[in-house]
Structure 1
Amino acid sequence: MNFKDVIIIGGGAAGFFAAINIAEQHPHLKVAILERGKEGLQKVRISGGGRCNVTHAEFVPSELVQNYPRGEKELLGPFHQFMTGDTIEWFEKRGVALKIEEDGRMFPITNSSQTIIDCFLSQAKRHQVEVCYNESVKSVEPLPQDGTGISSPHYKVMTQLNTYLCAKLVIATGSNTKIWKLLEDLGHRIIPAVPSLFTFDIKDERINDIPGVVAPNVEVKVVGTDLYSEGPLLITHVGMSAPAILKLSAYGAIELAQRHYKFNIEVNFIKKSYEDCIENLKDCKLTFAKKTVFKSPQFELPKRLWHKLVSVSAIAQDTRWAELNKQQLESLAAQLTQAVFKVDGKSTFKEEFVTAGGVELKEVNFKTFESKLHKHLFFAGEVLNIDAVTGGFNFQNAWTGAYIVSKSICAN
């Protein structure tokens, strides 16, 4: 049997980050990654459209945690140990400079995820981390614990190729249902997985032929619930996307799954009340009296979206502002501030498949990321019931958890 001081199951972002930091801090330890695929770091490769959205330029822990629908309370302490600034410093020390984009997302200045992958692979090699590909884990068995030191075997891990013994075991497998099943067999509760980041499928005459149009700042709520978000909204070929929708999908992941992704949303395209909108439109009647409504977009809305909302308000293209009657005015105000759309399904956001679900957070010590049920068993990344909105936050959770695991493993 192969003995390793530390085995990390999962060759993704969290797995590599944990392995490298463990090996760097304690070079005498034998550290191995078991990856089921023929290569690892696949999510890193596709993240951010192939650019790798490493983290987000949010440097206050209490603000950073607000981007996690699940894990907000649990991550506050860990973020005081390792967060965005530490991530930036870690990569820069290893030759990877990051840049901040206007929306706060951070990428390598090379704009290539391969830069991050090359960094991890070279660091793993430098610190003699053994990376074992095509090693799909079939079973995990705790061994009798005698309280002895780090080099005593505490777990037996069987793959389709080999059997390993290890003193410390780190699970960094993301939303891998087979590993979740093994953890259930060990007594851990697994919160069932549902999609977390997704776009809304909508067929509606108001948006069906204007893909690419962005309403810069909207409010969206799911009718009949408390679910609400705001931000840019993108009209796509199949419906709606962008931060306003993606945030809603993350915070509403469980409830929207229960509704089988069939529900109504109400969109306020201008973030004004219906009453204020009416008053603004009345002002327009006076200010732009001789101009046509159709050709006079208001509230900084894109022309194509304005044209659609004017048309469905029963306002002809040649109608002038001065000619608007009370009913047309009220109809346009309703479309601008209370537009209801029927959602009939979801689509994956680009290739970035994120799930809500995983190991029950109450069963994890977030000072160490160690299992409360089994000593010497640690978790990092999305294997836990933690997920975030889009923008680099899921990776920051991976870096933070993996780094604290490395410190915890080396401390006992």
Structure 2
Amino acid sequence: MKNHFNIIVIGGGAAGFFAAINIAVEHPNASVAILERGSVGLQKVKVSGGGRCNVTHAEFIPQELVHNYPRGEKELLGPFHQFMTGDTMEWFEKRGIPLKIEDDGRIFPQSNSSQTIIDCFLKEAEQLKVEVFYNHSVNAIQKKDPLWDIQTSKGDFKAENIVIATGSNPKIWKLLEGLGHHIVNPVPSLFTFNIKDYRINDIPGVVAQNADIKVLGTNLESSGPLLITHWGMSAPAILKLSAFGALELAKLHYKFKIEVNFIQVSYEDTIVNLKALKQDLGRKQVFNYSAFELPKRLWQKLVLASAIFQDTRWADLNLFQLEALSAQLTKAVFQVDGKSTFKEEFVTAGGVDLKEINFKTFESKLNKNLFFAGEVVNIDAITGGFNFQNAWTSAYIVSKSIAV
């Protein structure tokens, strides 16, 4: 078995394969290998986007794209000028993978299958003679000038350059600490909120399309679709809060209160609207009329929570009930008690300290010929394809920067 390579990529995920493939394109005479600890690679690609692989997001202006990164916003601005969404789309389409943009801006392969992306990577790696070593867990990384010495569970390797693309891997972070790097303590970044509350019990799957959410006692707030689930709340409005509030919510041990405006209308204006409905719909039952385009099941839960009976007519509503219903619609408070992983897409805030990386090259400032790609560094994003875009951008720049 050959064990000396010009470039070794540690990590057989999205960033690892993308880096290795582009390195092989840039340096056709170089020997390139991937070390993957599992028996198969690209497992995060497989489950992403519900099995469809959300490869990136339709945001084509670097200054706007960076706003989706709670950690890494400043550092990614320059890299995104070199390689971003349009470049990602072109890269895949040149390799026979047509992509499509959905209404919410997420970009998927037209096949609607993550296997399309996996097959593309495996095919490219094979054609470019990138060697992939599965079941090779890295146990030690040492610099023995001028080479890197990498000890794995199945033998030792040597390389002139190494690229760390392992994602959130505590074992690799520990090895990097041994090389002098500081690791920012990792905490979950994308997660849903666990809420047990009679107002949302028994209505999983209901979506309030336009909601405003605040975490009480903090400056955290977000807007967007809100999904009620079996365990609480999810969807973009919640996930954005979880990403931008990752550190703050961890300090709260994931126990806090949120205030939800289900209709994005002020409390005062809602009372005015409800009084108008009282005049117009006097003989109709409040329970059976869903106002403000709210899903009927959610409307009915909020009506009952406002001390309004099922047979109450609009004309019979008193001021107390109008005010209570307005409060439930615009400033309902829910107790969050814990979190759950968003689908299988586990993302963390934390990793290699950004101050120790040269973002023109993604090379370590502390160790020459040591490069990083993807989430192994302290960069993470909200859901919607943005974490993959960071992987593609960093991996591509590494391929341009690495010297053989």
Q: Same fold (TM over 0.5)?
A: yes
Report the alpha carbon displacement of residue 293 of structure 1 after superposing the two structures with TM.
1.2
Is 2:163 aligned against 1:170? yes
TM-score by length of 2: 0.98
Which whole-Å CA distance do the structure 2 matches of 1:130 and 1:315 have between them? 68
Which whole-Å CA distance do the structure 2 matches of 1:309 and 1:114 have between them? 43
Residues 187-231 of structure 1 deviation map (CA, whole Å, 9 limit, x = unaligned): 111011111111111110000111111001100111100011110
Is 2:204 aligned against 1:203? no
Residues 227-306 of structure 1 mapped to structure 2, 5 A cutoff: 227-306=220-299
Is 2:102 aligned against 1:101? yes
Residues 154-193 of structure 1 mapped to structure 2, 5 A cutoff: 154-193=147-186
The Cα RMSD (Å) is 1.0
Task: Give 1:323's aligned residue.
Answer: 316
Is 2:18 aligned against 1:17? yes
Is 2:337 aligned against 1:350? no
- Structure 2 unpaired stretches of 5+: none
Residues 306-330 of structure 1 deviation map (CA, whole Å, 9 limit, x = unaligned): 0010101001112121211111111
Aligned partner of 1:408 among 379, 394, 401: 401
Report the alpha carbon displacement of residue 267 of structure 1 after superposing the two structures with TM.
0.3
Task: Give 2:127's aligned residue.
Answer: 126
Which whole-Å CA distance do the structure 1 matches of 2:306 and 2:209 have between them? 22
The DSSP-based 3-state class of the residue aligned with 2:286 is coil
The DSSP-based 3-state class of the residue aligned with 2:222 is strand
Is 2:12 aligned against 1:8? no
Task: Give 1:74's aligned residue.
Answer: 75
Residues 335-374 of structure 1 mapped to structure 2, 5 A cutoff: 335-374=328-367
The DSSP-based 3-state class of the residue aligned with 1:135 is coil
- Structure 1 unpaired stretches of 5+: 145-152
Contact 1:267 1:338 in 2 (8 A): yes
Which whole-Å CA distance do the structure 1 matches of 2:27 and 2:242 have between them? 41
Aligned partner of 1:213 among 192, 203, 206: 206
Report the alpha carbon displacement of residue 162 of structure 1 after superposing the two structures with TM.
1.5
Residues 218-254 of structure 1 deviation map (CA, whole Å, 9 limit, x = unaligned): 0011110001111000001111110011111111111
Task: Give 1:147's aligned residue.
Answer: none
Which whole-Å CA distance do the structure 1 matches of 2:139 and 2:159 have between them? 15
Contact 1:154 1:376 in 2 (8 A): no
The DSSP-based 3-state class of the residue aligned with 1:375 is coil
Which whole-Å CA distance do the structure 1 matches of 2:168 and 2:300 have between them? 43
Residues 233-288 of structure 1 deviation map (CA, whole Å, 9 limit, x = unaligned): 00011111100111111111111111111111000001111111111111111121
Task: Give 1:383's aligned residue.
Answer: 376
Report the alpha carbon displacement of residue 154 of structure 1 after superposing the two structures with TM.
2.8
Which whole-Å CA distance do the structure 2 matches of 1:375 and 1:275 have between them? 61
Aligned partner of 1:307 among 269, 276, 300: 300
Which whole-Å CA distance do the structure 2 matches of 1:55 and 1:263 have between them? 32
Over 3 Å off, 4+ runs = none
Task: Give 1:141's aligned residue.
Answer: 142
Which whole-Å CA distance do the structure 2 matches of 1:140 and 1:109 have between them? 40
Which whole-Å CA distance do the structure 2 matches of 1:375 and 1:386 have between them? 21
State the number of aligned residues. 403
Which whole-Å CA distance do the structure 1 matches of 2:177 and 2:221 have between them? 34
Which whole-Å CA distance do the structure 2 matches of 1:21 and 1:317 have between them? 63
The DSSP-based 3-state class of the residue aligned with 1:294 is helix
Percent of aligned pairs sharing the same letter: 72
TM-score by length of 1: 0.96
Report the alpha carbon displacement of residue 295 of structure 1 after superposing the two structures with TM.
1.4
Is 2:63 aligned against 1:30? no
Which whole-Å CA distance do the structure 1 matches of 2:223 and 2:309 have between them? 31
Which whole-Å CA distance do the structure 2 matches of 1:337 and 1:316 have between them? 20
